[in-house]
Structures are given as C-alpha cells and as structure tokens.
C-alpha cells in the first residue's frame, strides 16, 4: 500500500510537471524539470541528473581522473565513463564489483577514482568459454569473451594493482564469497534471465549502509524490463540523465529516494 502510494505520488508529480509546462517554460530550471519528466514518462523510469547525485557528496577539491578514454565498440560512452568515475568518487567504496570486464576500460575508470586502499573485483566469462560452449556461439555477449584480451586497457597502469580479475560465469558464481561491495556495476550478459540473476545477487550483497548498484544499457535488451519491475516493486531506481545508466543508491540501511 505504502509503495503503491509512493509510485502514485511520483508519477502524479511527473504528470503535473508535464501538464504545467506551458506556464513554467520561461525558466531554464523549469525547462530541465519538464524535459526529465517527459523522458521519465517515455521510459517508465524516473530520470535524475548526475549533479543531483554527486553535488552533496563531492567537494571542489575532489578530482575525477580518466584514462583509456577512447570509446571502442561495446564500451560505455565517454559521458557514461565519466558518470561511473564520478559515482565511484562520490560513494568512496572500499570494495567494488563489476560484472562484465570486456577490455577493462570501465574497471580502470572505477579503480582510478577510489581510494588507494580500495579494491575492484571484475568478472568476465573465461577466454576459452566460447570454445567450451560452441552451442552459445551466436550470443553476442559470449562472443565478446573471446573478442579482446580481457582487461587489456588497464595493463601497465598504476591503478591496475587495485583491480582483481576473475574469470567466471556470473550465473554460477558464488557472490557471497566476495563480501559486501559498496559499488556494483552490472554490464555482463544482457538477456533478461541473466540480468535478473545479476540484479538479485547485487541486491543480496550490496552494502546497504553506503552503496550503489549501477546498470549499463538501462533502456535496452533484458535490462529494461528488469529495471521496470524493480521500480514497480518500489525500488527507487533512476536513469542518469544523458546516459543509458541506471542506479539505486543505498545509505543507512535502505535505498535512497532522490526525486
Ligand atoms: C558489454 S561488455 C562489458 C563492457 C565494459 N563494462 C565496458 O564498459 O567497457 C560485456 C562483457 O560481459 C561478459 N559476459 C557476458 N556474459 C557474462 C556472464 N554470464 N558472466 C560474466 N561475464 C559475462 C562478456 O564476455 C563481455 O566481455
């Protein structure tokens, strides 16, 4: 009942913002609010600006550092890479978990923006997975396990000592063995069943005192229905404006509402 009222309130506000646009469009702030509300209606998920998430968690002295910036096929966009880095700096995790290493560009962005004691565990299907599972050779996410050298973008870089690479299928992995990360980035297999499983595992292990779960491809593939379902179950999941990244922030034992 409480959740249903919460959802009703949220969507009621969104509709009100859209409906009041003709009266309020003169202000830049109002126009942005309207744009986010309209986008939220289109995607069935609320949108939040990156600054809304990080403004109260970062100060002027905080530095965001990015390396291996050029975007190759299957990488996040450059702004998404910045968003990941800024979120990592803002949350200040000591343990991070990434599902879907690929060439290592996103793991490096996270590792470059956590404190020097923090660790980033990144998981990918093993390089010989395709050879051992020829029946799955038509699945793009499986093909990617053999397309590049997993983690090649962090090789030889100072921050790589914070990264621990593991080769495993996230559907079979024992997530309890890694502890309680404060930062989880889900970007492995994109079919609904795998995203559901990765999401359930992330929700099980995330540190709810201070943590964030981040999904790439939030509006696409099997990620979209999983996030819509989470939202309908009352989780405050938000898409970050100008990205295809969604997130749930946790603090003091619970998920945090941002808008
Ligand atoms: C889209 S890529 C990740 C891109 C990377 N995060 C970046 O931003 O550059 C997805 C990766 O997940 C891996 N993957 C697919 N299914 C997986 C699974 N079940 N368990 C672990 N890794 C998986 C793929 O082999 C691929 O390397």
Determine whether the shortest distance from the Cβ of 151 to ligand 1 is under 6 A. no
Residue nearest to atom 11 of ligand 1 (CA): 100
Best mutation site among 76, 138, 141 for ligand 1, i.e. most ligand atoms within 8 A of its Cβ? 141
Which region holds residue 74: left if phi is over 0, alpha if psi is between -120 and 50, else beta? left
Determine whether the shortest distance from the Cβ of 169 to ligand 1 is under 6 A. yes
Determine whether the shortest distance from the Cβ of 105 to ligand 1 is under 6 A. yes
Q: Is the pLDDT of residue 43 over 80?
A: no
pLDDT digits (tens, 9 = 90+) for 238-249: 999 999 999 999
Query: The whole model's pTM is what?
Result: 0.89
Q: Does residue 219 sit in helix, strand or coil?
A: coil
In CATH terms, the superfamily for domain 46-255 is Vaccinia Virus protein VP39 (3.40.50.150)
What is the 232 CA–ligand 1 centroid distance (Å)? 27
pLDDT digits (tens, 9 = 90+) for 16-33: 777 777 766 667 666 666
Residue boundaries of the structural domains of the chain? 1-43, 46-255
Whole-Å CA distances, 73 to 68, 102, 147, 148, 245: 13, 10, 11, 11, 17
Determine whether the shortest distance from the Cβ of 75 to ligand 1 is under 6 A. yes
Cα-flanking dihedrals φ and ψ of residue 62, to 5°?
A: -65, 135
Which alpha helices (H) appear in the chain, and where do they start and end? 2-19, 21-24, 28-43, 50-54, 78-91, 105-111, 129-132, 140-147, 192-205, 223-232
């Amino acid at each position: 009942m409480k959740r249903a009222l919460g959802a009703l309130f949220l969507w009621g506000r969104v509709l009100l913002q859209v409906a009041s646009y003709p009266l309020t469009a003169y202000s830049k702030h109002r126009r942005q609010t309207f744009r986010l509300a309209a986008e939220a209606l289109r995607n069935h998920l609320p949108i939040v600006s990156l600054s809304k998430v990080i403004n109260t968690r970062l100060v002027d002295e905080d530095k965001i550092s990015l390396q291996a910036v050029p975007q190759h096929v299957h990488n996040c966009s450059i702004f998404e890479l910045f968003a990941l880095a800024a979120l990592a700096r803002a949350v200040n995790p000591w343990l991070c978990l990434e599902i879907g290493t690929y060439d290592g560009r996103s793991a490096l962005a996270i590792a470059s923006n956590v404190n020097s004691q923090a660790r980033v565990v990144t998981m990918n299907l093993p390089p010989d997975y395709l050879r051992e599972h020829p029946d799955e050779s038509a699945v793009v996410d499986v093909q990617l396990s053999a397309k590049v050298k997993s983690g090649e973008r962090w090789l030889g870089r100072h921050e790589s000592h914070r990264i621990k690479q593991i080769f495993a299928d996230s559907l079979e992995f024992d997530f309890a063995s890694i502890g309680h990360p404060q930062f989880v980035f889900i970007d492995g297999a994109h079919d609904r069943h795998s995203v559901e499983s990765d999401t359930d595992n992330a929700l099980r292990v995330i540190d709810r005192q201070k943590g964030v779960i981040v999904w790439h491809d939030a509006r696409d593939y099997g990620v979209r229905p999983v996030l819509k379902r989470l939202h309908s179950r009352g989780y405050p999941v938000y898409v970050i404006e100008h990205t295809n990244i969604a997130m749930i922030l946790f603090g003091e034992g619970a998920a945090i509402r941002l808008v």
